[in-house]
Structure 1
Amino acid sequence: MMDFKMKQLLRMAIVAAPFTMMITHASAEQVIKIGHVAPVTGGQAQYGKDSENGARLAIEEINKDGLVIGSEKITLQLDSQDDAGDPRQATQVAQLLVDDHVVAVVGHLNSGTSIPASKIYRDAGIVQISPAATNPTYTHQGFKTTYRVVATDAQQGPALASYAQSKGIKSVAVVDDSTAYGQGLASEFEKSAKAIGLKVMSHDATNDKAVDFRAILTKIKGENPEAIMYGGTAATGGPFAKQAMQLGIRAKILAGDGVCADQLADLAGAAAANVVCSEAGAPLDKMPGGATFKSKYAKRFNQPIQLYAPYSYDAIYIIVDAMKRANSTDPAKLLAAMPKTNYAGVLGNVSFDANGDLQHGVISLYTYPGGKKALIDEVKM
């Protein structure tokens, strides 16, 4: 027979056993956070939410399929933050994500938020992949942490200028919205336009909250350019094009991906047909995985894709691919694996140059006949 002390020890062991099993089970599954930042409030909320949805869909798929890194079962968690398109808020949420111990970040959406936030991630040694920032400065700061999965303004600008030249346009006026994105795109366009012999009549600045452009447009009307390049977003670009038409300006309106939204026709009215805009990527139906992704996205979120969802979706998978190749979730090892990325996703094959830019970018050009967005050309860079 067991003595009293032995029985007590046995009882304690039996009681403790389930808790020991729970601890062992819990330690076998590690939660790893990946950050996402975009404006999910304000004038660009539809794009920010679209980007967030793309990242969320990837996270859900990976968790469902099961992820094991270094013999450890991993559950991914999306740590999504709102920067409202504001540079100051962007740095605040960037620091919050660093404090939350994310291993990488998908974001930010805008160049004007991605650039200041990039310094926070650089200091923390955390990979940052922007699904949308196109200003060349973002990846040309000498940081090893900055990547993007779209083409740059240094590619969009020349594509728009070349299009103008191909249509016999000889003179242009340039307007930007004073943001890092708008200024960057307008500057690249102007530089390219001058290089190929187009006459730049003027370069004016407005702001991204403006609603009345008649003073600038009246001045431009007096200059009588054959085209006006507008660096900004649809929220201001739509009214800009509409007011140009109301003033009797016949110049073609050229713009970048910020303006190139499905809802431009609602914002510009009949003037949308006079807009030619570029996107720093291939159209969804021409992406290798576009059709499948479109179906999955619609099933999960019961709404159409706005623009950036496939880029954020692939960005998550690229981060996980780097984890697998590093066989680690350590941010430093993940970062070290990023330069050798060669990932086949929705966008096609993704690899990066020494700066973190896409090796093979695509620029798509669109117009809006009858108020419907339609592809007119695709330029491979």
Structure 2
Amino acid sequence: MKSIVVSLLMVAGLTSGIHAQERVRVGFMSPLTGPQAANGVDNRDGALLAIKELNNRGIKVKGKPVTFELDVNDDVADPKQGVQVAQMLADKKINFVLGPYNSGVTMPASRPFADANVVVFTVASNPKVTEQGQTNLFRIGASDNQLGGKMATYAAEDLKVKNVAIIDDRTAYGQGVAGEFGEQAKRLGVKVVANEFTTDKATDFSSILTKIRSTKPDAIFFGGYAPQGGLMLRQLRALGMNVPLLGGDGICSSETATLSQVSGDLNVYCTQGGSMLDKSDKGQKFAERYRQEYKRDPLTYAAAFYDGMNLLASAIEATQSTDPQAIITHVAKGKFAGVSGEYSYDDKHNLKSSAVTVYTLKGKEVVPLKSL
């Protein structure tokens, strides 16, 4: 198990007084290797950008300068590995964590965090994540209710879909977002003509797609991630099926386009939590700083992890405390204006309101279409 501590110290005149600083270690976990590594690296770099800016700006608690460090861990999108990482972070007395990324990792990993009262900020979207009664955990992204439901609304009202086939990858995320899509689609009068499933390790979808082709859907919804979504799109087009491929935030990535080997307009639509970055001053500035720092565009959740780190720092500054319970109480009752929107919470620690944006893929560009 790898654990890399990234320490970004304030640069202006702190070396002489380093022993007077308070060091706040923040755990991070996401898949940094394996098929979903691109998303994990994106998450990590969003958090690191926030830490760099915070340390350069300087925050004090009771007159003492605070230095933030990110303890970076690879959970490989695997639930067992996620539990091991979570226990290790708890054993190291790390009080704050950004992540996990996957719902299937978050649910089992949340137990050791709850036992140690570690404050967790996760983008995991399955509704069950926040139905476990764990007061230490906050969702910093949209839930499947919002991602799947609003994709169904867009499909019915904007794409005029009448018949749809649904595939999920059997992960907690995939089943959750596909289930919410299907329920909302039915409420809007869209007929679900097929329900199929695969795995998050699969590479061949030809038999499923051939079976679906006979049902003549107007669109296919895939609940899963880009590594499967991209290959599915390639095989879909090879079978002569040019219907739209729909999905949640798991396929809202340039990786989907790259793996599909389809150029131009891919006829893919996906939902992602947050408002369109290019429609707000904060969003534009974040994207510019991210590109300057990493020489690439942010992917799905860099902005959310950036916001999560700033939400934590804001709570520490407001309470003048690094005590986990003080932070939990403040975040639960407070409001924070981030790059992706406003962070204020209901009693289950879901966001009270989360804008959801519909995107399409043109070439390798993820292009925003409409915020719902």
TM-score (norm 2): 0.90
Q: Indicate yes or no: 2:129 matched with 1:138.
A: yes
- Deviation string 1:302-355 (CA, Å, 9 cap, x unpaired) is 332223221111111111111122221112222222212311222233212221
Q: 2:288 aligns with which of 289, 295, 309?
A: 295
How far is the alpha carbon of 1:299 from its aligned partner? 2.6
Matched-pair contact (CA < 8 Å) for 1:252–1:276? yes
1:224-273 deviations in Å (ceiling 9; x for gaps): 12221111111101111221121122332111111111232222233862
195, 217, 237: which one pairs with 2:187? 195
User: What are the superposed Cα offsets for residues 67-99 of structure 1, whole Å, 9 maximum, x if unpaired?
Assistant: 211233322211111101111101111111111
Quick check: 1:238–1:268 contact (8 Å CA) kept in 2?
A: yes
Shift of 1:356: 1.3
Larger proportion of helix: 1
- CA gap of 1:34–1:199, structure 2 versus 1, over 3 A, is same
1:344 match: 337
Question: Could you tell me which residue of structure 2 aligns to residue 375 of structure 1?
Answer: 368
Pair 197,68 (structure 1): closer, same or farther in 2 beyond 3 Å: same
| C-alpha RMSD of the superposition | 1.9
CA deviation profile, 1:8-52 (whole Å, cap 9, x unmatched): xxxxxxxxxxxxxxxx96653221211111111111111111111
Q: How far apart, CA to CA, are the structure 2 residues paired with 1:126 and 1:355?
A: 16
Contact 2:227 2:255 in 1 (8 A): no
Residues 127 and 144, structure 2, Cα contact 8 Å, conserved in 1: yes
> What are the ranges of 5 or more consecutive residues in structure 1 without an aligned counterpart?
1-23
Distance 2:325 2:339 in 1: 27
Shift of 1:288: 4.1
Q: Residue type of the partner of 1:286?
A: K
Distance 2:364 2:305 in 1: 28
Tell me what 1:5 maps to: none
Q: Does 1:328 align with 2:325?
A: no
Residue in structure 2 matched with residue 261 of structure 1 by the alignment:
253
Task: Tell me the residue number matched to 1:160.
Answer: 151
Distance 1:348 1:251, change over 3 A: closer
Whether the 8 Å CA contact 1:287–1:348 is kept in 2: the answer is no
What stretches of structure 2 of length at least 5 have no aligned partner? 1-15
How many residue pairs are counted as aligned between the two chains? Answer: 355
Tell me, in whole angstroms, the C-alpha distance in 2 between the residues paired with 1:88 and 1:349: 33
Matched to 2:242, the amino acid is: R
Q: Is the 8 A contact 1:273 1:371 kept in 2?
A: no
Q: Does 1:69 align with 2:61?
A: yes
Point out the structure with max Rg over C-alpha.
1
Percent identity of paired positions between Structure 1 and Structure 2: 38
How far apart, CA to CA, are the structure 2 residues paired with 1:151 and 1:121?
21
Distance apart, 1:369 and its partner CA: 4.0
Separation in 2 of the partners of 1:226 and 1:89?
39
Give the 3-state SS of the residue equivalent to 2:203 in structure 1.
Answer: coil
The answer to whether 1:186 aligns with 2:171 is no
User: After TM superposition, where is structure 1 displaced by more than 6 Å over at least 4 residues in a row?
Assistant: none
Amino acid at match of 2:334: T
Q: Match of 1:378, as an amino acid?
A: S
Counterpart in the other structure of 1:55: 47
Equivalent position SS for 1:306: coil
Matched ranges for 1:1-381 at <5 A: 28-130=20-122, 132-166=123-157, 167-270=159-262, 273-369=266-362, 372-379=365-372
